[in-house]
């Protein structure tokens, strides 16, 4: 997943926005990433990936963790939603 791909598909938050938020705002808790355009506050699918970036930044100051390709990421999220794990906001596409 490159920097201009959406990390939070519910609120269309790109990886770049999240990375910049982490670098500039230096959140102390992963939950503070929700202040980045609502990232993670929809279906919940992206939370483990937000956690991964947050943990990496806290551990070694880098925010370049490997994430799935955009198509794989979207496919896995669609399955997650179909299985009833989370409900995306009405403004979000489910695919
Ligand atoms: S993809 Fe981020 S909360 Fe749904």
User: 71: buried, middle or exposed (CB in 10 Å: 19+, 13-18, 0-12)?
Assistant: exposed
On average, the pLDDT of the chain sits at 93
d(CA 35, CA 74): 23
Residue 94, pLDDT above cutoff 80: no
Tell me the CA–centroid distance for residue 76 and ligand 1, in Å.
12
Whether 68 is covered by a domain: the verdict is yes
Whether 12 is covered by a domain: the verdict is yes
Whether 93 is covered by a domain: the verdict is no
Give the residues surrounding ligand 1 with Cβ less than 6 Å away: 8-10, 40-46, 88
Which one, of 77, 33, 25, lies nearest residue 51 by Cα? 33
Whether 34 is covered by a domain: the verdict is yes
- The number of domains in the chain is 1
d(CA 1, CA 3): 7
Whether 91 is covered by a domain: the verdict is no
Whether 63 is covered by a domain: the verdict is yes
pLDDT value at residue 29 = 96
Whether 50 is covered by a domain: the verdict is yes
Residue 75, domain extent: 6-82
Residue 95, pLDDT above cutoff 80: no
pLDDT value at residue 61 = 86
Whether 87 is covered by a domain: the verdict is no
pLDDT value at residue 92 = 74
Task: Please choose from 21, 30, 38, 44 the residue to mutate so as to test ligand 1's pocket, defined by most ligand atoms within 8 A of CB.
Answer: 44
pTM of the full structure: 0.92
């Amino acid at each position: 997943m490159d920097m201009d791909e959406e990390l939070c598909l519910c609120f269309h938050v790109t990886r770049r926005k999240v990375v910049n938020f982490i670098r500039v705002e230096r959140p102390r808790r992963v939950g503070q990433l929700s202040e980045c355009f609502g990232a993670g506050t929809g279906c919940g699918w992206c939370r483990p990936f937000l956690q991964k970036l947050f943990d990496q930044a806290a551990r070694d100051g880098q925010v370049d963790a490997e994430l799935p390709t955009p198509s794989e990421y979207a496919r896995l999220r669609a399955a997650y939603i179909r299985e009833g794990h989370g409900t995306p906001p009405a403004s979000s596409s489910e695919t």
